[in-house]
Structure 1
Amino acid sequence: MQEPDLDLLMIDSMTVGVYQYAAGQKKRSRQ
């Protein structure tokens, strides 16, 4: 069994956070 790649998991979670933040900024600017 391979060990999970923690670096990739951290990068994935960071990108998801950035996308969610960007989406939130877009919604706020519309109002």
Structure 2
Amino acid sequence: VLYQGDAIEILNQFKSERFELIFADFTVYME
């Protein structure tokens, strides 16, 4: 059973990892 707090924490972790991947690709593209 996932509580709302756990779901938000997992979502934030996924979003931060995804953002880092997108940001890394963006910086490589800019170079």
TM-score, L = length of structure 2: 0.74
% identity of equivalent residues = 0
CA RMSD across the alignment: 1.3
Which contiguous aligned blocks of 4+ residues in structure 1 show a shift greater than 6 angstroms? none
Which of 1 and 2 has greater Rg? 1
- Of Structure 1 and Structure 2, the greater helix share is in 2
Aligned pair count reads 29
Q: Normalization by structure 1: what TM-score?
A: 0.74
Structure 1 gap ranges (5+): none
Equivalent runs, 1:11-26 vs 2, <5 Å: 11-26=9-24
